[in-house]
C-alpha cells in the first residue's frame, strides 16, 4: 500500500504560498486577507475553522472571523456577506459548512462575490479558482507521477454540484468519469462493483464509514477518499482501511489525506483571489 501523504503535499503548497506572500510584503503590498463565517456552535466546525486560521497565519494570510448565531436571521447572515463583498481589504470569503438547518445553504452561498469565493461554489466563479477538494484530487494524482490520460475514474457522491466540478476537472485531464449517487440510496449492485473494477481511479465522497471494501478494488488502483465521519472520538473515511491495507494500491488516508490538502488549497485560492481583485481594482 502506498499512502498519499496529504500533510506533506499540503505543506509544500503552503510553503509556496508563504514565499509569494513574503515577496508581496517585501514589495510594500498588503497581506492577502481571508474572511471566515462560522454559523452555529458545532464543535467540529469550530475545530476546522481554527485549523484554517492557524494555517493561514503560517503562510502570512490575515484572517477575520465572523460569528453567526443560530438564532440570527438569514437576512442578517446575508448582510454580513454583502458587507464582506464590498470590503476591498477582504480577498476571500469562506463559509464553514454545514450550516444550521434553518439557513438555506444554496441561497446563502450564491450571495458571495464569485471573485471572493475561495470554496469555488459559485457557478460563475473565475476559471482560475477551483474547488479546494477538486484541487486536492489534482494534487493527489500529480504526486503519483503517473499518466492517467484516457483512463477511467469512478466517483461515489452525494452532491450534483460536486460531481459536476469533478467531471469538468477530469475531462480537462482526459480522464473519463463513471459515477453513482449515494444521496438517496446506500445500496448498489454487482454491476456498480464491476464498473469500479474497470477504472484506474476511485474517488469517494459520501461520508459512509468503511463501505469501500477490498472486493471493490484491484492491485495498482488509486483511491482518493474524501468521505469523513466520526464514531465517538474516532474519524473514519469511506474506505475500510483495515480491510484494504494488504492491497498494492495508492490511497489517501483519513485523517491525513485530502483534509490537509484542502485547507492548503483554500489558502491558494485566497492568494489567487487577492491577485484577481488587485487586477480588477487597478
pLDDT values of the chain reduced to their tens digit, one per residue, 282 residues: 999 999 999 999 999 999 999 999 999 999 999 999 999 988 888 888 999 999 999 999 999 999 999 999 999 999 999 999 999 999 999 999 889 999 999 899 999 999 999 998 888 889 899 999 999 999 999 999 999 999 999 999 988 888 998 999 999 999 999 999 987 666 777 899 999 999 999 999 998 999 999 998 999 999 999 998 888 888 899 999 999 999 999 999 999 999 999 999 999 999 999 999 876 655
Q: What's the grid cell of residue 205?
A: 465522497
> Which is it for the CA torsion 136, 139, 143, 145, positive or negative?
positive
- Give the whole-angstrom CA distance, residue 254 versus residue 209: 10
- Give the whole-angstrom CA distance, residue 271 versus residue 21: 8
- Give the whole-angstrom CA distance, residue 77 versus residue 108: 8
Query: Under DSSP, is residue 256 helix (H, G, I), strand (E, B) or coil?
Result: coil
Closest CA to 271 of 53, 92, 127, 7: 92
- Whether 29-114 shares its CATH topology with 132-258 is answered yes
Class of domain 132-258: alpha beta
**Burial track 59-98 (b if 16+ CB lie within 10 A, e otherwise):** bbbbbeebebeeebeeeebbebbeebbeeeebbbbbbbee
> In the β-sheet with 62-68, what is the strand arrangement from edge to edge?
62-68, 33-39, 92-95
Q: What is the DSSP letter of 27?
A: T
Query: Under DSSP, is residue 28 helix (H, G, I), strand (E, B) or coil?
Result: coil
Q: How is the chain split into domains, by residue range? A: 29-114, 132-258
Domain 29-114 adopts which CATH fold? Rossmann fold (3.40.50)
Query: Under DSSP, is residue 68 helix (H, G, I), strand (E, B) or coil?
Result: strand
Amino acid at each position: 500500500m502506498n499512502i498519499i501523504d496529504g500533510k506533506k503535499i499540503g505543506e509544500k503548497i503552503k510553503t509556496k504560498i508563504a514565499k509569494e506572500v513574503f515577496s508581496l510584503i517585501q514589495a510594500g503590498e498588503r497581506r492577502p486577507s481571508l474572511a471566515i463565517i462560522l454559523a452555529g456552535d458545532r464543535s467540529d466546525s469550530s475545530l476546522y475553522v481554527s485549523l484554517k486560521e492557524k494555517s493561514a497565519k503560517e503562510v502570512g494570510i490575515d484572517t477575520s472571523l465572523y460569528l453567526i448565531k443560530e438564532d440570527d436571521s438569514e437576512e442578517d447572515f446575508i448582510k454580513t456577506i454583502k458587507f464582506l463583498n464590498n470590503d476591498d481589504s477582504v480577498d476571500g470569503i469562506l463559509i464553514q459548512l454545514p450550516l444550521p438547518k434553518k439557513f438555506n445553504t444554496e441561497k446563502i452561498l450564491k450571495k458571495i462575490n464569485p471573485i471572493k469565493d475561495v470554496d469555488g461554489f459559485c457557478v460563475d466563479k473565475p476559471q482560475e479558482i477551483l474547488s479546494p477538494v477538486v484541487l486536492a484530487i489534482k494534487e493527489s494524482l500529480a504526486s503519483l507521477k503517473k499518466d492517467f490520460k484516457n483512463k477511467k475514474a469512478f466517483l461515489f457522491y452525494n452532491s450534483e454540484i460536486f460531481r459536476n466540478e469533478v467531471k469538468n476537472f477530469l475531462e480537462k485531464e482526459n480522464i473519463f468519469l463513471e459515477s453513482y449517487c449515494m444521496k438517496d440510496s446506500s445500496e448498489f449492485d454487482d454491476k456498480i462493483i464491476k464498473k469500479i473494477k474497470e477504472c484506474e481511479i476511485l474517488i469517494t465522497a459520501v461520508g459512509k464509514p468503511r463501505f469501500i471494501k477490498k472486493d471493490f478494488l484491484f492491485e495498482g488502483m488509486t483511491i482518493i477518499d474524501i468521505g469523513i465521519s466520526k464514531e465517538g472520538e474516532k474519524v473514519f473515511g469511506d474506505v475500510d482501511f483495515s480491510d484494504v491495507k494488504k492491497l498494492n494500491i495508492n490511497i489517501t488516508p483519513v485523517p491525513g489525506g485530502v483534509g490537509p490538502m484542502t485547507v492548503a488549497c483554500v489558502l491558494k485560492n485566497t492568494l489567487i483571489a487577492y491577485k484577481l481583485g488587485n487586477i480588477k481594482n487597478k
